[in-house]
Amino acid sequence: MKYLIISILLTQVTFKSFGQDAVKDSLPKSVDSTSLASSWAFSAAAYYYILPHEENTTTLLGYADHNWLHLEARYNYEDRKTGSLFGGYTFEGGGKLSWTLTPMVGVVVGNTDGIAPGFLTSFAWKKFDFYSESEYVFDFAGKENNFFYTWTELAITPFNNFRTGMSGNRTRLYQSDLEIQKGIFAQYSFWKLTTGIHYFNPFSDNYFLIGTLSIEF
């Protein structure tokens, strides 16, 4: 029970493009959009992995965006006791179907050392959205240790501040017989915070939970 309480209090970054749009929509009409576009946007997130058959672990993430520039710092993401830094360029567009694409490259240091090209993608249409972050780590220890990571969500926002859907995850933080961890999730946003819970491989021996908490600055 204590782990469930912790997980509910610790939950992930919600789709950053939605958060930025919400900020823009809440501004007075007199605010110049060019001044908003030139400002920095920061956010941070914590993912708490509740693993029934392994030691629990926490992933930390930090984000910074300025116009097209996208920066990320991660810890315990590619591997335990491993940090990484990423930089990328964000493209965005669309009308009723909005989209963003951010190719990036990073350096990984710790239990795993390497170079990691990756990309972020997102699409949004009405109450539906798709989000994916992926990378391929070229491990300096040898190509047999190279690994493809991905986190993907397909979601609906049925009413304000609540988002739910399906998610998939491929990671080294959790070992199981499954190549891709599949699950469901729910998130709730208030003020500048977003909290949520992911339930992977439900009703199986490979199940685990991830509680997340994010904040925008």
Per-residue pLDDT band at 129 (split at 50, 70, 90):
very high
- Cβ(99)–Cβ(122) below 8 Å: yes
pLDDT of residue 8: 35
Q: What token pair was written down for 136?
A: 């391929």
How far is the C-alpha of 87 from the C-alpha of 45, rounded, in Å? Answer: 17
pLDDT tens for each residue of 41-81: 999 999 999 998 889 999 999 999 999 999 999 999 999 99
Where is average pLDDT lowest: 11-20, 33-42, 80-89, 171-180? Answer: 11-20
Q: Over 80: is that where the pLDDT of 5 sits?
A: no
How far is the C-alpha of 48 from the C-alpha of 76, rounded, in Å? Answer: 10
pLDDT of residue 38: 60
Percent of the chain with pLDDT over 70: 82
Q: What token pair was written down for 174?
A: 């959790």
pLDDT of residue 177: 79
How far is the C-alpha of 96 from the C-alpha of 108, rounded, in Å? Answer: 37
pLDDT tens for each residue of 9-36: 343 333 443 333 433 333 333 334 444 4
pLDDT tens for each residue of 98-113: 999 999 999 999 999 9
Q: Give, in order, the Cα–Cα distances in Å from 88 to each of 8, 49, 74, 106, 116.
A: 31, 27, 14, 9, 12
Residues contacting residue 120 through CB under 8 Å, at least 6 positions apart: 70, 88, 100, 101, 102, 104, 131, 132, 133
Per-residue pLDDT band at 125 (split at 50, 70, 90):
very high
**Average pLDDT score over residue span 173-181:** 85
pLDDT of residue 10: 40
Q: What's the predicted TM-score (pTM) here? A: 0.80
Other beta carbons within 10 angstroms of residue 3's beta carbon come to 14
Kindly state the helix (H) or strand (E) to which residue 33 belongs, with its residue range.
Answer: helix 33-37
How far is the C-alpha of 120 from the C-alpha of 105, rounded, in Å? Answer: 11
Domains annotated for the chain, with CATH where assigned, are 2-27+39-216 (2.40.160.40)
Characterize 46-59 residue by residue with b for buried, 16 or more Cβ atoms within 10 angstroms of its Cβ, and e for exposed. bbbbbbeeeeeeeb
